[in-house]
A and B are shown apart, each in its own frame.
Chain A
Amino acid sequence: MTFINGLKCRECGREYTKRAIAGCQECFAPLEADYDYDAISRVLSREVISARPKNLWRYRELLPLEREPAVGIASGGTPLIRAERLGRVLGIRDLYIKNDSVNSPTLSFKDRVTAIAINKALEFGLSAVGCASTGNLANSVAAGAASAGLPAYILIPDNLEPNKIIATSIYGARVITVRGNYDDVNRLCADLAEGYPWGFVNVNLRPFYGEGSKTFGYEIAEQLGWRAPTAIVVPMAGGSLITKIHKGLKELERLGLLEEAVRTRLFGAQAEGCNPITSAVRRGSTEIKPVKPATIAKSLAIGNPADGYHAARLIAQTQGWADDASDEEIVAGIRLLAETEGIFAETAGGVTIAVTKKLIEQGRINADDLTVIAITGNGLKTPEAAGLSEPICIEPNIAQFDRVVSGLAATV
């Protein structure tokens, strides 16, 4: 059963029927899935949700599918971890990590949006799927397409890390590297989506695809006992995730499912070498000036973020803030999370940890703010970024081992 009336323009309000479409044909703004919340509130309750399996379809009435999902069944339902050790280091009493580095099947939050997009492609009878990607989406779409029996055309910039390419090609997708940065790839896909009868998940399926990110927010609220966090720190590439997390929390509030009204402050995190959204926030503006990315955080290297304006606006409206991290700070962030909580995040995770540290130091997040850090991808995707040196090598004898251990103990 579906509760989506149609698609609606976020800016001018013009309505569209449910179909594969990139944006408003009038003002070109992004389109949003438009739900019948009254009808949803009659069927959805905490009890109904709690009885369902722990995956993102738990919230299916708030997702834009017409039929039962055929693929992506196991996506979502990732852990929310109480991070006591990291909290002690950073100086926050109630710190949580929402850990999508273990999401299924491809170890990033993108499995949430891909699950929606591929099911919609099947519903619309499209003959193939495609995407522009900085890595995580490529992995996810390739895997999802394979499990759906659809061909996939994956376009990536020519400087992506090797693991990301292997972890996309292995599923049999047609992977095409493009000479240029992500923004060049994105522009090409916008043109291709006009000519090819395919579902480009983040172009002409974008209004549906984006809805999957709301489940990141739904799960956090449910896992916190049906309450929204006081603060949440989210990495920003295109800027969609942070806006959808907020949309998800507000939907739960609207349906009467939360203990209290949503007063969550949104905090955005980017790399210093690609910070168009954080720059706008710090200028007190919602006007995004595009940049040319230069950062090890390639997953966030989008110089012209499509949802940047909305992200900046929402951050200001919720009394949040945004900051960015240097390459050194990103690496330190990856290591800090791994060493305190046993979670190995990719570069976007390092960015988010580093920025959380800054926000606390700046007094923008307080010691008693219940805070969630969004970890969106697994560190095995960007292992070279960790900058680790080779381990010590010994002969197989006890004496050498003893010497090494006392030497290691001396450095702890």
Chain B
Amino acid sequence: MAPPEDLEDLDPGRARERTGLAWTRTAIAFGAVGAAVLKTNIAAGLTVVGLSVVIWTVSRFFPDPAGSDVRPRQLLLVTMTVVAVALVALAVVLLGHPSSGVHAPKG
């Protein structure tokens, strides 16, 4: 099979590649939030880091949003994941021990 003459035919405007990168950035953002939460609450932090793996997996195993009416369920999953992270953060903030901050003055 001859390769396509123009890459544009395969991926117009490199839209597919840019969207893949956007998914990667989103998964990395989850990982960063998870690392931040790890500092204060190990269980919650590990959960959020696990969610970043879920986001990454969603983008890897369902790689083609073109055609049909794009994966609303996967996007809803991402939305619910962010909401879950927000709820975990609220619980940590409201129910956790009051923190003295990372640079609290001594004495």
Partners in one complex: no
